[in-house]
Every structure is written in C-alpha cells, then in structure tokens.
C-alpha cells in the first residue's frame, strides 16, 4: 500500500470475492438448519412433556 500513487486506483468489484465466501456461508447455513431444527424440536417437545406432566401431577395432588 505504500507504493500507491494518487490517482492509481484498483477497482475491487463485489463479485470478485463472493463465490468462495458465499459457498462457505451456504455450507454453514445448511449445517446450521440441519442441526438447529432437530435440536429446537427436541427441546420444545421435552418442555411440553414436562409441562403436561407437571400439570397432571398437580391435579393428582389436588385430588388427594
């Protein structure tokens, strides 16, 4: 950069760097969806199970 002469501009177009970087982003996005979605469903299903179980146990305690 020290040898840059005023008026000597290098034009860097956005598409010069997009292909390699976008492929990495898409690969990461694919893995993120494949891992996050089942994990989210597992956490929500577990939470629902324990919420229903807790309410069921509360009803049992009220009846006793």
Q: What is the pLDDT of residue 56?
A: 96
Rounded to an integer, what distance in angstroms lies between the CA atom of residue 12 and that of residue 8? 13
Q: Which two tokens stand for residue 14?
A: 């956005």
How far, in Å, are 15, 45, 46, 50, 51 from residue 59 at the CA level? 63, 21, 20, 14, 13
Tens of pLDDT along the chain (64 residues) come to 555 556 655 555 555 555 566 677 777 777 888 889 999 999 999 999 999 999 999 999 998 7
Alpha helices in the chain (DSSP H): 18-63
Question: Global pTM?
Answer: 0.55
């Amino acid at each position: 950069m020290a040898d840059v002469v005023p008026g000597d501009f290098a034009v860097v177009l956005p598409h010069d760097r997009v292909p390699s970087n976008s492929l990495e982003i898409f690969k990461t996005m694919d893995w993120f969806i494949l891992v996050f979605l089942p994990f989210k469903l597992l956490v929500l299903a577990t939470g629902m199970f324990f919420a229903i179980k807790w309410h069921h146990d509360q009803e049992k305690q009220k009846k006793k």
